[in-house]
Amino acid sequence: MFMLGFFSKKANSNATLVATVGGFASSLFFNFILSVINFSFLSPTGFAKANDEGVYDIPFLYRMRFVFTICVIVMLCP
């Protein structure tokens, strides 16, 4: 958000606020959805790994990449 504020004219204060709240909300959403949906279908692509309990989980850095992409899209779309 800081870098987009410097280099993009579309990233105003309202977009930054929405991206901050939306980033937190989408992060909570991804944590919640991991307990509801079985992500074994993503295992062949490498986006899901089985943890110690045998439940397929999306690794943290992949989830953060999704949240980052969502925040950038929200900030740059008017």
Q: Residues 6 or more apart from 56 whose CB is under 8 A from it? A: 38, 39, 40, 42, 43, 48, 49, 50
pLDDT tens, 26-72? 989 988 888 888 888 988 998 888 888 888 888 889 889 989 998 88
> How far is it, in rounded angstroms, from Cα 11 to Cα 26?
19
pTM exceeds 0.85, yes or no: no
The domain limits of the chain are: 2-76
Residue 28, judged by CB atoms within 10 A of its CB (0-12, 13-18, 19+), counts as: exposed
